[in-house]
Amino acid sequence: MKESAWDSCGLGAARSRSNRAAAWAVGILLGLLLSCAATMIGCSVAARPAAFQDKTATSLSLVAPPPGRSLEDLVPPQSLPARDEELWIIEKPITSNTPPAASNDADAADRSPGGGMLLSVHGATLTPLPLEKTDVHANITGLIASVDVKQHFNNSAKEPADAVYAFPLPQNAAVNEFILSIGKRHIRAIVRERAEAEQIYREARKDGLLVSLMVQPGPNIFLQRIANLEPGAGIDVELRYFHTLSFRDGWFEYEFPMLAGLRGTHVPRPPQRSGRNIALAVHLDEEMPIEAIDCQTHKMAVKMGASASADVTLQAADEIPNRDLVLRFKLAGTMPKFSLATQADGDGGIVALTLIPPGKIDALPRRNLEMVFLLDANIAATAQKAAMQMLGDLTAADTVKIIRLEDGVAFDLTPTPFPAAQASAIASIMSAAPANSSHPQKLADALGGPADPTRTRIVCFITDGHLPLARMLSALPPALGNARAVIIGAGPSPDRGNIESLARAAGGTAIDFAGAAAEPLMRQFIESASHPSVADMQFDWRGATVLDVFPRLPVDLLVGHPLLLIGRYKGDAPAELRIQGNFAGNSRVLKIPVNNSQPQTPGHAPLASIWARRKIADLGLAAAARPDPALDRQVRDLALEYGLVSHYTAFVAVDAMTRTADVGGNTK
């Protein structure tokens, strides 16, 4: 009976199998769909690190990394405070009361911003073309100046001419707009690869067309060429550039090149120049109240606006001093000031952090130093002299190490740090032959000894700069660790370019030992380094992905050295930054919320341009240390993307509607 019953249910059993198979199929499909959903969620999580990694990264990176994990494991490598690099302002040897023209230091004049000069080219002869009018409008916010310059030139010659126009700008200036105006016509120049732009210039010139090219032959020199300029015609050159301000003795300084005449020559320049052909207006818009505005170089009219804004204009006069304009202003308050701004830019954007230390070190506790003198054997005697001079600024509680660098090999002359008070012993160690007391080491090994956590380590490299730059650029910065760096250029003919490159790569400062200001500069350096406003800083972007911060996140905030750190963020903008550190001797965490009250514009915005400029400079240093075509390409792509003039890119503007010379480029 049972068999019969089951047999009769054979169909049902088959149906049941079919149902089970269908259910399995649906289950598999469901599983696939759920897998897809999970994958999508996973993708979304990966694409939105700020949103999903917030809870992990946020709690990890700041206060104390968990046991077994280092900070390097927790934050993007580019964000790490690998170097205490910051904006060091080098005091000029020329005081603000002394016009640069009065000095015969042509090199100094070359390094400072200078006035433009349009020269017509007649074969090998350069004839200055009259600069009829200059209009300058500068907007200053925080540490950034956005400057619009319009200069009107006139070709008074009776025949078409080619012209070359040199325009020195601050070293960190980012030129991102160039417009050539002829009458009512305005032609915006295009950024192209430099070789490409130069060829376009040559071709258009040969074709008899009005064409202009702008290149950057040096770090702070811009050179503009104009071909086939019509006789009797006037042209306007409009530039827009951004740069960061200098900071000296508690004052922010804005400089504009107003020196008329050729720089870099010993041709005497008149002490006065016409004041009728220049108009200059500066608008200040700061977050903190402006305490004082001062200009010792020119007479300025100051109109204070709200507490944090002001308008300053050059007073009209028939004649004005023939010198660069330096406008200074001081912000109110003695406490350190911190601000954070972001600017969206496609997938991510720019983040800017401003850290302004207090004006004086009076209220700051002193921190003992561990001074490491790295002496270039090429200039042993001078290096020893400079080191001994710096030793005089140390206290008895500080310690000293001495390393001698000879042909790229380091000799640690003091395996155990010496108390700084033992000056005579230190002097004898310095003058001893290295072979007698030490064995050769790699620089990284010599500098990589255990650091005293209770002291601030400073590496003072005294050199003439005549070293293999690429080798030093690749060896010195990574060997520094968290030490601060100061590069002292000494010797009979120091290579200033190499010394400044080393200082930039090391995130430190350069001091010219031969300069008149060397002694006070070295003393100021020791004073500020031993009295940090904030020490041992650690940065927590609260889960946001912040990369490529320039200069690299510093360890200390020192008096006299305000910082403008600019980086790129991916995805969501950071809403807050937390800095853990030792604030005037007290360990605490500072929360800095984003405040976007600074005037910003998209596209060619100041922040984006300045960030790109710094990234380009960083890549340039990397390329100097390790030549790599990929780095050159990165620089080129970056400059093209941000529309900046660089070593690899140039502005070119062709007026294909104005043929002033006969074809063949026979400009007279």
Q: How far is the CB of 619 from other proteins (least distance, A)?
A: 17
508-512-513-518 Cα dihedral, nearest 10 degrees: -80
- In the complex with other proteins, the residue whose CB is nearer, 136 or 161, is 161
Name residue, tokens 């910065």.
Answer: 477
| Region 313-342 residues binding other proteins, contact defined as CB under 8 A | 342
- Stretch of residues binding other proteins (CB under 8 A), selected from 62-70, 425-433, 545-553, 639-647: 639-647
Kindly list the distances between the CA atom of residue 439 and the CA atoms of 225, 410, 417, 461, 598, in Å, as whole numbers in the listed order.
56, 8, 17, 20, 55
Q: How far is the CB of 48 from other proteins (least distance, A)?
A: 7
- In the complex with other proteins, the residue whose CB is nearer, 122 or 496, is 122
Copy the structure tokens of residue 85. Answer: 């690099």
Contact assessment for residue 579 and residue 588, using Cβ atoms and an 8 Å cutoff? no
267 is a contact residue toward other proteins (CB under 8 A): no
- Stretch of residues binding other proteins (CB under 8 A), selected from 35-43, 142-150, 404-412, 549-557: 35-43
| 3-class secondary structure, 377 | helix
| Region 558-617 residues binding other proteins, contact defined as CB under 8 A | 596-604
Contact assessment for residue 653 and residue 180, using Cβ atoms and an 8 Å cutoff? yes
H runs (alpha helix) in 453-594 = 469-480, 496-506, 518-530
* Residue choice 10, 97, 125, 158 for contact with other proteins (CB under 8 A): 158
Kindly list the distances between the CA atom of residue 381 and the CA atoms of 386, 462, 490, 503, in Å, as whole numbers in the listed order.
9, 11, 10, 22
521-540 footprint of other proteins as x/- string (CB under 8 A)? --------------------
Q: How far is the CB of 115 from other proteins (least distance, A)?
A: 27
- In the complex with other proteins, the residue whose CB is nearer, 443 or 605, is 605
- In the complex with other proteins, the residue whose CB is nearer, 341 or 537, is 341
198-217 footprint of other proteins as x/- string (CB under 8 A)? -xx--xx--x-x--------
**Eight-state DSSP code of residue 490:** -
* Residue choice 79, 343, 382, 509 for contact with other proteins (CB under 8 A): 343
Q: Which amino acid is at 358?
A: P
Q: How far is the CB of 96 from other proteins (least distance, A)?
A: 33
* Residue choice 62, 109, 174, 187 for contact with other proteins (CB under 8 A): 187
9 is a contact residue toward other proteins (CB under 8 A): yes
* Residue choice 152, 366, 466, 659 for contact with other proteins (CB under 8 A): 659
* Nearest residue to 308 via CA among 291, 325, 327, 326: 291
**Eight-state DSSP code of residue 198:** H
Q: Could you tell me the maximum CA-CA distance found in the chain, to the nearest angstrom?
A: 128
The pairing of strands 319-321 and 309-314 is unpaired
* Interaxial angle between packed helices 423-431 and 380-391, expressed in degrees from 0 to 180 and rounded to the nearest 10: 170
Contact assessment for residue 216 and residue 613, using Cβ atoms and an 8 Å cutoff? no
* Interaxial angle between packed helices 380-391 and 518-530, expressed in degrees from 0 to 180 and rounded to the nearest 10: 50
* Residue choice 73, 196, 249, 628 for contact with other proteins (CB under 8 A): 196
183 is a contact residue toward other proteins (CB under 8 A): yes
Copy the structure tokens of residue 264. Answer: 């870099």
Contact assessment for residue 278 and residue 136, using Cβ atoms and an 8 Å cutoff? yes
121 is a contact residue toward other proteins (CB under 8 A): no
- Stretch of residues binding other proteins (CB under 8 A), selected from 25-33, 403-411, 441-449, 558-566: 25-33
Q: How far is the CB of 511 from other proteins (least distance, A)?
A: 39
Copy the structure tokens of residue 568. Answer: 């790129």
Q: How far is the CB of 125 from other proteins (least distance, A)?
A: 18
Total of residues contacting other proteins (CB under 8 A)? 83
Kindly list the distances between the CA atom of residue 272 and the CA atoms of 219, 258, 297, 345, 365, in Å, as whole numbers in the listed order.
28, 11, 12, 46, 48
- In the complex with other proteins, the residue whose CB is nearer, 296 or 307, is 307
Contact assessment for residue 371 and residue 398, using Cβ atoms and an 8 Å cutoff? yes
Q: How far is the CB of 273 from other proteins (least distance, A)?
A: 30
15 is a contact residue toward other proteins (CB under 8 A): yes
306 is a contact residue toward other proteins (CB under 8 A): no
369 is a contact residue toward other proteins (CB under 8 A): no
33 is a contact residue toward other proteins (CB under 8 A): yes
- In the complex with other proteins, the residue whose CB is nearer, 8 or 97, is 8
46 is a contact residue toward other proteins (CB under 8 A): no
41 is a contact residue toward other proteins (CB under 8 A): yes
Distance CA 484, CA 530 (A): 11
- In the complex with other proteins, the residue whose CB is nearer, 273 or 636, is 636
189 is a contact residue toward other proteins (CB under 8 A): yes
Copy the structure tokens of residue 13. Answer: 């059993």
Q: Which residues of 499-522 are buried (b: 16+ CB within 10 A; e: fewer)?
A: bbbbbbbbbbbbbbbebebbeebb
Q: What share of the chain is helix, strand, coil (3-state, %, to 5)?
A: 30, 35, 35
How many residues are present in the chain?
Answer: 668
186 is a contact residue toward other proteins (CB under 8 A): yes
221-250 footprint of other proteins as x/- string (CB under 8 A)? ---------xxxx-----------------
- In the complex with other proteins, the residue whose CB is nearer, 635 or 653, is 653
129 is a contact residue toward other proteins (CB under 8 A): no
291 is a contact residue toward other proteins (CB under 8 A): no
Q: Is the dihedral of CA 35, 40, 46, 52 positive or negative?
A: negative
- Stretch of residues binding other proteins (CB under 8 A), selected from 10-18, 246-254, 367-375, 425-433: 10-18
657 is a contact residue toward other proteins (CB under 8 A): yes
* Residue choice 3, 5, 416, 454 for contact with other proteins (CB under 8 A): 5
- In the complex with other proteins, the residue whose CB is nearer, 501 or 598, is 598
Q: How far is the CB of 195 from other proteins (least distance, A)?
A: 6
Q: Which amino acid is at 422?
A: Q
Copy the structure tokens of residue 492. Answer: 């009979």
Apex CA 620: angle with CA 617 and CA 621, to 5°? 95
Q: How far is the CB of 235 from other proteins (least distance, A)?
A: 10
